[in-house]
Amino acid sequence: MNKTAFANTRTDLALENSEMLLETQPTLDGVEIETEELGSVTVTWVKIINEQGAESMGKPIGNYITIESEAMKDNDAEAHEEIIKIMAEKLGQLHHLAKDAAVLAAGLGNWQVTPDALGPKVIDKLLVTRHMSEILPDELQEQVRSVSAIAPGVMGTTGIETGDIIKGISEKIKPDLIVAIDALAARKTSRINATIQMTDTGINPGSGLGNMRMQLNRDTLGVPVIAIGVPTVYIMQIWNCLTKV
């Protein structure tokens, strides 16, 4: 495969997959796309509704929400707050969670490699509350969700499959939902650090480098999995790395 073919076919964003397909065909069978403009934020909901759509898109049946805004790159607290509100609203539409439901957050990636450190960095800033349930006063119990977190590292440094680590923890603490956070690869440089993708189909750790590991989804973990990712790598950068190995 030449550089052009590689760059034109590989992306972690369902939105970019649909854009590439629509360049050569008028419609996408088995795929529904809805876009709305919310101020400076563009939200696109890609729904893969059957096997035909899954095959053409190269992704599982499910929902993929993409939030785009150049304001993500700016040091603008007000703009960031607006993006957070939109993200929270769409996340609630993606998966309804009861007030007393417990969440396990998993930050995927290698904290020693900047483009791959998103997951561990999110976990480092996350407020975990599971261990506080027994000491919180009653008036706060209903306002604080049980949240636990893990940054499992990568197989190259732990020698353990990421999916096995998360599955073992999940079987022990029994969360109602797993939220996996990971860095993604994008086809367009304009989407680097300016895009968030959320999906209810789970995630394949390492897929951006073509290094397919155990899938993290309801089938493998026995728990609903929401994957949240931000493109931090342009696909041609990955190609350059691979060709130099």
Of residues 11, 10, 12, 57, the one with CA closest to residue 30: 57
Q: Residue 173 carries which side chain, given as an amino acid letter?
A: I
How high is the pLDDT of residue 236?
54
Query: How many percent of the chain have pLDDT more than 70?
Result: 87
Structure tokens belonging to residue 101: 């439901």
Domain that holds residue 92: 3-244
What is the tens place of the pLDDT at every residue in 180-205? 999 999 999 999 999 999 999 999 87
Nearest 5 degrees, angle CA 190-CA 180-CA 16? 30
**Which CATH number belongs to the domain containing residue 50 in this structure?**
3.40.50.1450
Domains contained in the chain, number? 1
* β-pair partners for 234: 186
What pTM does this model have?
Answer: 0.87
Q: What is the rounded distance in angstroms from the CA atom of residue 191 to the CA atom of residue 5? A: 20
pLDDT of residue 83 exceeding 60: yes
Task: Determine the pLDDT at residue 4.
Answer: 39
What pLDDT score was predicted for residue 139? Answer: 66
User: Where does the pLDDT of residue 8 fall: very low under 50, low under 70, confident under 90, or very high at 90 and above?
Assistant: very low
Q: What is the average pLDDT score of the chain?
A: 88
Q: Does 209 or 49 have the greater pLDDT score?
A: 49
The model's pLDDT over 99-143, given as tens digits with 9 standing for 90+, comes to 889 999 999 999 999 889 999 999 999 999 998 877 777 766 677
For 220-242, what is each residue's pLDDT tens digit? 999 999 999 999 987 655 445 54
Cβ atoms within 10 Å of 239's Cβ, excluding its own:
17
